[in-house]
Amino acid sequence: MRPLTPFRRPGPRTRSDPAPSRLAYRMQRLALTPSVRRGFTLGMPAFAVAVIGALALASPERRAGLVAHAAAMQEAVRSRKEFLVHEMRIAGASDGVGAEIAARLDVEMPVSSFDLDLADLRARVLALDAVERADLRVRPGGVLDIDVVERVPALLWRRADGLTALDRAGKPVGAVAARADRADLPVISGRGADRAAGEALALVAAAAPLDARLRGLVRIGERRWDMILSDGQKIKLPQDDAVDALERVLEVDRARDLFARHVVLVDMRLPRRPTVRLHPDTARDLRQVKLTGLGDD
Amino acid sequence: MFDLYRSQRAMRAMRQTAMQRGHVAILDVGTSKIACLVLAVDGATPPGDGVGHRAGQSSVRIVGAAVTRSRGMRFGEIEAMHETERAIRTVVQGAQKAAQVRVDHVIAAISGGGPRSYGLAGEVELDGDAVEEQDVARVLAACDVPDLGDGREVVHAQPVNFALDHRSGMNDPRGQVGDRLACDMHMLTVESHVVQNLIHCIKRCDLELAGLASTAYASGLASLVEDEQELGAACIDMGGGATGISVFWRKHLIYADAVAMGGDQITGDIAKGLQIPLATAERLKTLHGGAVSTSMDDRETIELGGDSGDWERDRRTVSRAELIGIMRPRIEEILEEVRERLDAAGFEALPSQQIVLTGGGSQIPGLDTLAPPFFGQQVRVGRPLRVPGLPEKATGAAFSSAVGLCLFAASPQDEWWDFEIPAATYPARSLRRALRWFRENW
């Protein structure tokens, strides 16, 4: 049996045994374990950074200072003169509308372009009746450009509370104080008339031969149009193909001078059976004439 | 037999785990050196046209290697556990450091322990149907195991040959039709205490044993080429403390044995004959040793450097012829012993009788001249196959058993316990038996 007590050779100590101790062997195996390796190369640095960060952020005044610093930096960038908007230029709007847009937007100049919510501003501009389209952009040089396309009034819509101007699509443009203010525009009335503005314009265009005698159009039952002429004459138009029906009436008028006679009503609601109503007096006279000609019995 | 099945299957399962984890260590605990190779298992086919898997070794790569002088070993057996454990720790640590991975599973070789070979034969009647896996299992179970003796443990049990009716020499009888299935099996046993000591040493190094092979078998795998294995050849692994013999035929190990003599005995002879320390004798043997002397060797004098403490007086010299004269009788004795073992095993009945000398002892110059009188003309000195990543220092003949263990780890031969346990041997009320019945009938 080999001696249990290690024999120490006199002289300089030389390491005769190349074998690692059990502890060294186990530690090396532990170091080579993949999870431990990863923990050492990734986990430990990450943990150290986290601990340092947590310690640094532990005091409230340091946190507040950081927040204030971040806010100041942000503010410094925001308030640079490159980002400032000094002026608002509204193009394409009439004076009244332009003033109203400026009043509505109510932007205090100068303002940083980061604080401008262009989508919101645009929605506010579009909320005006008179504006059909609006393009907003911040131009280099600190100018907020607002390009506005106004609605063009094409019709007057008479309602119980007054006159409203409508554009070609039937969208309201603005209130009109008196008919005489816009004598050039045709008048329509009746509930739902704005939704049929296109048809109304077509009818007005087709009624050009009547020119001065056209008084206006009345929407009946949100379904069809009545055309009102001067002297209380009226054309009842059908629901479908109203323009065709009107042209037929106008053709009869041109050939036979229909509206110069004592006609109060031309009823075209059934296109296959147009009906004409005479003035009651005229009708009575006519009957009288016939009776006279034919005899009483 | 159930114990055997269980322990060996547990070891095989451990090997599977190691392969899945991707790293397994090879530990060749020899008498003169201990080698540890760390294998990385990737299973990738090597790139390039016409490059195949070879003997399966291309699916593994050696990523770390370490070798150290063995301590506490004699005749291939552990003599001083603590010394061996320290040596194992040294190599494992070195190999892990080289590979930069941690290995938990080890495939080890056992060279001592007095290996004994048995040829078993079994036979079963078939019911005229095609042979199925169950029939193979039955015929393997029918092999009558001889009395192994007390304290013996089975290391290898490989089916070598199947015969169906009068047709013999089948590798795989499954699917063929016959009435009578017979099989031959080769079984190798060693002393169980030797194995237990080795396992204990490995356990103390925090490692798990994932496979155990005989050194002689591993050397044969590494140093015999495929044709030699097919036609019949013997591999003689001349190690430090033991000389292993393995006989292969038709690519199966059919006989293995060991002679408890090796290079250490030669060194001892030199030390005794020249009265010098063992370390000096080992140096003389490796630097100046030989097996056949010529007249030139009479004139070549070697300084002994006796290291007897008397530097002025102890200036002995010896001629190389004298050194060879000391070595040669021992080499002849070893070869003679090997020849006797081969004769006893019936080696001369094989169609080809190639002898391959390998192991560290085979590097003695002139051995190929000395060997033919014992073994006939078909003798060569073999070096192990190449395995990817094998370091240059481990390509020599001394590493053939380590390389053979790599091949063993990469593609192990089917052993007895790799086949299914025949259903009839299950306990009658076993749940597994019921499961098997379900699987076979639906």
What would the pLDDT profile of B73-83 be if each residue is shown by its tens digit? 888 888 899 88
Q: For chain A, where do the domains classified as CATH 3.10.20.310 start and end? A: 81-150
Residues near A192 by Cβ (< 8 Å), separated by ≥ 6?
Answer: A219, A222
The per-residue pLDDT for range A157-207, each reduced to its tens digit, is: 888 888 888 888 888 888 888 888 888 888 898 888 888 888 888 888 888
Nearest by CB: A18 against B83, B90, B101: B90
How high is the pLDDT of residue A121?
86
Q: Identify the segments of chain A with pLDDT beneath 50.
A: none
Residue A238's CB is within 10 A of a number of other CB atoms, namely: 17
The ipTM (two decimal places) reads: 0.78
H and E: helices and strands count for chain A: 9, 14
pLDDT value of residue B428: 63
The length of chain A is: 297
The 3-state DSSP class for residue B246 equals strand
Note whether B102 contacts A26, CB cutoff 8 Å: no
Percent of chain B exceeding pLDDT 90 equals: 37
Under an 8 A CB cutoff, do B89 and A2 touch? no
The residues on B that touch A, with CB distances below 8 Å, are: 68, 80, 83, 86-87, 89-90, 92-93, 96-97, 100-102, 205-206
Q: Which of B63, B89, B105 to mutate to test the interface with A (most CBs of A within 10 A)?
A: B89
The residue in chain A having the minimum alpha-carbon distance to the alpha carbon of residue B99 is A32
CA distance A6 to chain B (A): 13
Q: Residue B50: helix, strand or coil by DSSP?
A: coil
What's phi and psi for B122, nearest 5 deg?
A: -140, 160
Looking at the whole model, is its pTM more than 0.80? no
User: What is the DSSP code string of B373-438?
Assistant: HHH-S-EEE--PPP-TT--GGG-SGGGHHHHHHHHHHHSPPP-GGGSPPPGGGS-TT-HHHHHHHH
Quote the pLDDT of residue B1.
47
- Cα distance from A33 to chain B (closest Cα, Å)? 6
List residues in chain A touching B: CB distance below 8 A. 2, 17-20, 22, 24-26, 28-29, 32-34
B55 pLDDT above the threshold of 70: no
- What is residue B139's three-state secondary structure? helix
Delimit the domains of chain B by residue range. Answer: 117-187, 263-331
CA distances from B179 to B123, B131, B440 (A): 11, 9, 22
Record: contact A32-B101, CB cut-off 8 A? yes
* Mean residue pLDDT across chain B: 86
Q: In chain A, list all ranges with CATH 3.40.50.11690.
A: 155-292
Which one-letter amino acid corresponds to residue B25? A
Mean pLDDT within B301-326? 81
Residue B423 has pLDDT above 70, yes or no: no
Question: Coil, helix or strand for A98?
Answer: helix
Fold classification of B117-187 is Dna Ligase; domain 1 (3.30.1490)
> How far apart, in whole angstroms, are the C-alpha atoms of residue B25 and residue B430?
37
Pick among 3.20.20.70, 3.40.50.300, 1.10.3720.10, 3.90.640.10: CATH of B263-331: 3.90.640.10
Buried b (16+ CB within 10 A) or exposed e, B394-416: bbebbbbbbbbbbbbbbebbebb
- Structure tokens of B261? 């003599």
Q: For A155-292, CATH number?
A: 3.40.50.11690
Could you report the per-residue pLDDT of B140-199, keeping only the tens digit for each?
888 888 888 888 888 888 888 889 888 888 888 888 888 888 999 999 999 988 988 999
* SS3 at position A270: coil
Q: Does the pLDDT of residue B311 top 80, yes or no?
A: no
Eight-class DSSP state of A88: E
3.30.428.10, 1.10.730.10, 3.30.450.20, 3.10.20.310: which CATH number matches A81-150? 3.10.20.310
